[in-house]
Structure 1
């Protein structure tokens, strides 16, 4: 797969493909099961390496924090604050803006407009690198900003110094996310996974060497973390420039500077949509810090959020697979296949979430001891486990529906839904239950979970009511508007 430019959706082994290339209407359980298995194979071909890639990249920061924790508590606090507040904020914006390519590259690839993928990637490089120049001010003035929001001066000063050293990582983000979405749209997940695991091995080895053996401390952490992210970017670019992507990369083009404003608007919509989701549960820990016995509340929630974060890696892989499948099929004019892909991935993700939740509920008396020796913290984690399990089930379905939204190009609509569901409903309800009704951290989580459920139900209803033939037509118009040509696709959208 790594060396071909043919779309994954043109699979000659499928028995139920019409002349136009779309899936036939499924009649009966036997047809459903056969097509379910076929679509599952395609989805896991994408989702498996995507999950692995997400875990490896997620682990870069975790390895750094683990090793710096052996240097000193102040250094660990500085790395944690820089990683979660400064880099985390920028990561969300860069990932969100880069996700615009999931719509454009995916639909262009499905439509056979392979030459446009490279142009879209270059446009995204221009926009994200320009955004990084602005965000670098956050890194430069991180120390004063962190003191202003209430961080202890010693932690703020050290985190501020580290933030300046981490500016190269910011620009690695701006190159990595467009490049990753470019490869993802072509289903080149295995290459990305191989690069990610190589970068993680490099990172672990040299972090140990520089931080601990050579006693470079935070300076060593910054050098290796920057180098690891640029290793990922460099390896991806070597793969692309080396000719392995065929017609999707034909060199640099001035077309990258055309229609920039339309591209900026879609990128900003994607950023708002994903950032609102990524920052939502982060607010849960912040609000817990104002409760009675805040230290226990924050410790207990941190354990739950750590587990939740790893579980979400599965959902992120499903999100990537869904956006690729939906955008490819809509771009190719296969509305029924796109719709069936949604059905398959929602069912699969729901079942995975249920299995993970059952494991947590069965081990709820044992697993808290792995993270803490405090009886109060272990008791709180035990009490929060049902909420954690429920959140995992919901969060295994919700990102899938978000992936549908990205694949179909509904980012602006979903951004409004997120604002209403999360910030106008979920957080106020959580604060009301937590503080006014004195339900504590459980009350805050109940309210925020209610916001997630509301958002998921709205997305489910929109997806259910979608006219997929119309979406396929819109995909063709979007490709034409932003520089593609839909005249030679060789298919007709089935009415």
Structure 2
């Protein structure tokens, strides 16, 4: 018993060394959009709805694709670090940059034509027009995302997370100050909020590039290389699989926002559900810290051929994340009537958002478990299988069920939210079964084969560098 407790304590310490700073970094970076939405909310309900639609639909769509593309590095870099092959990492990151920047160029028209796309989806014309302008203004953020995600995966795989946290926290403080100056004091409105967001995201990228080039990574960063353009087709396949898996999760929330736009009084309904989503996504940042921890721990242990250690770390991290989910669920229950007031002063919006309080708490609990299991999938390289699972649970079950409750049974945004909740519950239950029935020694063998298959002309070390 003492031996088990000691092992649990050791694994918990390893988890928090990664999860602690990763949680802070996730909260800080999400808070950039959170702060923008909060300042926009006090400009008016249309501005709040427009920014929420922009962030959850257009930006959420692009963000999901680029995050997913970059997440291929979590599998490849993490397993390479476990195998001691650090010299591969820099080339992996450069290959990811080539793919994510090309993807950002392809996604740019989506930002330009947001307004007509939203009108085509029968969203309210006033919200569509303002959202369209806002998306054009924030195009620079799209290219910041393309550089940011591969950089962060590169750092995270080597457990260099505190630098990301310090950079993100500093930039968030800068972001709040500039919003207060330009949006509140100088009254430059939504344009100022967009420009401040652009500046904040590019500051994050520039600061991380300085850290990369500072000489802190002599084994894993040896400069820019022409090898970045080799083996791109194979790299693209894994990047696409990662993107599809994560996008299907992120787009789920975008689809919910679009469905709510079809309800009566869409300004109030969209604002109410957007407020709830902002809070559940804020708490999701905590779970994403554990997502980072479990993907790093699983990929490192599999790359080092320690399958039992990988399985044990999963059990510890899932338990820890669930504990925090219970705490945040209780907060959502207790303060369901007070939380909406941070975003809006309008009584109708506050009332509708308060109605979602109990279901918000339930979704927060599920989202303390589900991202961790997705991190397991990324660490083990199961992206393709989980993409199929997400399609079935979210789009063949959750959204249709929400549409029946919301439109047919007249439960409005509450019914749509319940449908979303049920889809997430089904996906989480299936992932739990898959994770704890996996034969992890076979996954360790696959990880060893993957490192050799994906080296793409880079000379590997003869022995692991543990």
Aligned to 1:25: none
> In the alignment, is residue 342 of structure 1 matched against residue 325 of structure 2?
no
Instruction: Give the superposition deviation at 1:69.
Output: 4.9
> In the alignment, is residue 228 of structure 1 matched against residue 228 of structure 2?
no
Secondary structure of 2:367 counterpart? helix
> In the alignment, is residue 462 of structure 1 matched against residue 434 of structure 2?
yes
- C-alpha offsets along residues 119-150 of structure 1, whole Å, 9 cap, x if unaligned? 11000000000111111122233333333333
- C-alpha offsets along residues 179-205 of structure 1, whole Å, 9 cap, x if unaligned? 011001111111000000111122222
Whole-angstrom distance in 1 between the partners of 2:310 and 2:418: 34
> In the alignment, is residue 274 of structure 1 matched against residue 230 of structure 2?
no
Aligned to 1:187: 159
Secondary structure of 2:215 counterpart? helix
Q: 2:5 aligns with which of 7, 20, 33?
A: 33
Provide TM-score, normalisation by structure 2.
0.91
Check the 8 A contact 1:64/1:221 in 2, yes or no. Answer: yes
Whole-angstrom distance in 1 between the partners of 2:140 and 2:342: 35
> In the alignment, is residue 319 of structure 1 matched against residue 294 of structure 2?
no
Check the 8 A contact 2:38/2:342 in 1, yes or no. Answer: no
Secondary structure of 1:246 counterpart? coil
Check the 8 A contact 2:119/2:125 in 1, yes or no. Answer: yes
Q: 2:211 aligns with which of 214, 236, 239?
A: 239
**Higher mean C-alpha displacement, 290-299 vs 471-480:** 290-299
Check the 8 A contact 1:322/1:400 in 2, yes or no. Answer: yes
Secondary structure of 2:159 counterpart? coil
Aligned to 2:69: 97
Check the 8 A contact 2:82/2:302 in 1, yes or no. Answer: yes
Whole-angstrom distance in 1 between the partners of 2:306 and 2:66: 31
Whole-angstrom distance in 2 between the partners of 1:213 and 1:368: 24
Check the 8 A contact 2:66/2:145 in 1, yes or no. Answer: yes
Whole-angstrom distance in 2 between the partners of 1:424 and 1:283: 13
**Higher mean C-alpha displacement, 294-303 vs 411-420:** 294-303
Whole-angstrom distance in 1 between the partners of 2:355 and 2:186: 44
Change (3 A) 1:170 1:481: same
Aligned to 1:136: 108
**Higher mean C-alpha displacement, 465-474 vs 359-368:** 359-368
Whole-angstrom distance in 1 between the partners of 2:5 and 2:16: 16
Whole-angstrom distance in 2 between the partners of 1:429 and 1:141: 30
- C-alpha offsets along residues 434-492 of structure 1, whole Å, 9 cap, x if unaligned? 3444444444333332221221121111111211111111111111011163752289x
> In the alignment, is residue 489 of structure 1 matched against residue 464 of structure 2?
yes
**Higher mean C-alpha displacement, 197-206 vs 51-60:** 197-206
- C-alpha offsets along residues 43-87 of structure 1, whole Å, 9 cap, x if unaligned? 111111111111111121233333445556665555444333322
Secondary structure of 1:396 counterpart? coil
Q: Structure 2: any 5+ residue segments left out of the alignment?
A: none
Aligned to 2:176: 204
Secondary structure of 2:464 counterpart? coil
Instruction: Give the superposition deviation at 1:369.
Output: 6.0
Check the 8 A contact 1:92/1:274 in 2, yes or no. Answer: yes
Check the 8 A contact 2:394/2:424 in 1, yes or no. Answer: yes
Aligned to 1:358: 330
Secondary structure of 2:219 counterpart? helix
Aligned to 2:137: 165
Matches within 5 A, 1:50-449: 50-69=22-41, 78-153=50-125, 155-214=127-186, 216-291=188-263, 297-364=269-336, 367=339, 380-381=352-353, 383-449=355-421
Check the 8 A contact 1:47/1:320 in 2, yes or no. Answer: yes
**Higher mean C-alpha displacement, 421-430 vs 443-452:** 443-452
Check the 8 A contact 2:57/2:251 in 1, yes or no. Answer: no
Check the 8 A contact 1:352/1:396 in 2, yes or no. Answer: yes
Check the 8 A contact 1:331/1:476 in 2, yes or no. Answer: yes
Secondary structure of 1:245 counterpart? coil
- RMSD, matched Cα: 2.6
Whole-angstrom distance in 1 between the partners of 2:174 and 2:235: 35
Check the 8 A contact 2:398/2:422 in 1, yes or no. Answer: yes
Check the 8 A contact 2:56/2:253 in 1, yes or no. Answer: no
- C-alpha offsets along residues 323-361 of structure 1, whole Å, 9 cap, x if unaligned? 011111111111111110100011111111112222333
Aligned to 1:7: none
- C-alpha offsets along residues 411-448 of structure 1, whole Å, 9 cap, x if unaligned? 01100000011111222222233344444444433333
Check the 8 A contact 1:479/1:486 in 2, yes or no. Answer: no
Change (3 A) 1:288 1:81: closer
Check the 8 A contact 2:45/2:271 in 1, yes or no. Answer: no
Whole-angstrom distance in 2 between the partners of 1:382 and 1:70: 18
Change (3 A) 1:80 1:190: same
Check the 8 A contact 1:71/1:212 in 2, yes or no. Answer: no
Secondary structure of 2:110 counterpart? helix
Whole-angstrom distance in 2 between the partners of 1:266 and 1:344: 28
